[in-house]
Amino acid sequence: MKHQNPGCGGGHDDPAQTLQQALANISAEIHPVEGFECVATRDALDRVLYAPVHSTVNVPAHSNSAMDGYALLGAGLPAEGERAFRVIGTAFAGHPFAGQVGDGECVRIMTGAPVPEGADTVVMQERVRREDDHAHIGSGHRPGDNVRMAGEDIKAGAVALEPGLLLRPAHLGLIASLGIGEVKVRRRPRVAFFSTGDELASIGEPLGPGQIYDSNRYTLFGMLQRLGVEVVDLGVVRDTREDLEQAFQLAASQADAIVTSGGVSVGEADFVTETLDKIGEVGFWTVAIKPGRPIAFGRVQGALFFGLPGNPVSVMVTFYQLVQPALRILAGIAAPEAPALVTAVLESRLKKKPGRREFQRGVLQMDADGTCKVSPAGRQGSGILRSMAEANCFIVLPEDYGNVEAGAEVTVQPFAGLC
Ligand code: AMP
Ligand code: MG
């Protein structure tokens, strides 16, 4: 880890890293957690695949019809005019036709039914004129039409799913289609989190003079939960060196990663970075984003450490932009998806100074004609959690942007349920 001593000039006024640089630094530092468990296929939803899933069968298992129609040998189809084929039986899904289809014969076949011996083509029923026990078929069909070949989706023995995949419903279905009932998934990362601040009261405690309720532990809980990690809530820690050191040790002994809020700026009661420097390693601690800086990133006895700012909006922005991608790597996701970005028309003017990448809170809506529009969600101060609660997206304003006028196209990052 690139060491930066906050006491020796690595401080708040250092030229900050861009978000891109910070993310590159973080991802160079992080390795997936070790260990796996075997779970029932349904319990593998939202878990990360640990070992490849090999197919033991062909999918589909047998060549079958993609249509309701008539199965026959394609070579016998007429090049012009019409030919009559004698209907010798019926094949349903789950009830194959047992006999052999000869020249000039066909079998009435339903979608999903195995294509009978001697046939290789299905003519859809809309293209067939049926008269008693004969099917009259014209030209314009090709051998092999409307047949799904055995092993066309997945061949027996092939790798059906690669390790590192975050399993979605489609993957569960695919695993089930192979007849596999148990999956090896990577252990979930354990993430310990706590709030720092003498002013913080927990729910259930009366508010003393100058106190506020600790909200960061709730937003962090929700975001960690959404990411599917195991959470360890270590409560509120007082602004003393001793309490912080103890909390750091406890967290590092229990978790793969630690997320804290507050105490990372340069105030007189901000001891988080100092403590990290004393008992762990500091990677960097300024990122050119707003809201959000400074942030402490480092390591305490093998656990990753993210010291987020105390302001409630800053916590959520820095978690979304920095901690989320880091935890996805820690979870073993091989190719984390790029954030879904939307281009939208800005409804009212936004103020901004060039320098930092800003994440303003917005409400994204779609017009009846499909145009995406975004308007700022109330007052944008980094302490105003209400702006997050009312918003459904970040309006992303790049470093070099100044003010942005109404009507301009801007990039928007939907919360997608995480915030
Ligand atoms: P700090 O980063 O510790 O200087 O805190 C910045 C601001 O965020 C201060 O106004 C704090 O009172 C507030 N704050 C810090 N931690 C929390 C928390 N857990 N819940 C709500 N507000 C907080
Ligand atoms: Mg504080």
**Any ligand 1 atom below 6 A from CB of 195:** yes
Predicted pLDDT of residue 13: 45
pLDDT tens figures, 118-143: 999 999 999 999 999 999 999 999 99
Residue 91 burial (CB < 10 Å; 0-12/13-18/19+)? buried
| Ligand 1 atom 5, closest CA | 310
Atom of ligand 1 nearest to the CA of 264: 2
Amino acid at site 410: V
Q: Could you tell me the CA-to-CA distances from 167 to 47, 50, 186, 256 in Å, in that order?
A: 6, 11, 11, 22
Of 202, 219, 237, 261, best ligand 1 pocket probe by most atoms within 8 Å of the beta carbon: 261
Atom of ligand 1 nearest to the CA of 217: 19
Ligand 2 is a single-atom ion; what residues have CB below 5 A from it?
Answer: 197, 262-263, 310
pTM above 0.85, yes or no: yes
**Any ligand 1 atom below 6 A from CB of 262:** yes
Render each residue's pLDDT in the chain as its tens digit; 419 residues.
655 444 333 444 456 899 999 999 988 989 999 999 999 999 999 999 999 999 999 999 999 999 999 999 999 999 999 999 999 999 999 999 999 999 999 999 999 999 999 999 999 999 999 999 999 999 999 999 999 999 998 999 999 999 999 999 999 999 999 999 999 999 999 999 999 999 999 999 999 999 999 999 999 999 999 999 999 999 999 999 999 999 999 999 999 999 999 999 888 888 999 999 999 999 877 899 999 888 999 999 999 999 999 999 999 999 999 999 999 999 999 987 778 899 999 999 999 999 999 999 999 999 999 999 999 998 888 889 999 999 999 999 999 999 999 999 999 999 999 99
**Any ligand 1 atom below 6 A from CB of 312:** yes
**Any ligand 1 atom below 6 A from CB of 114:** no
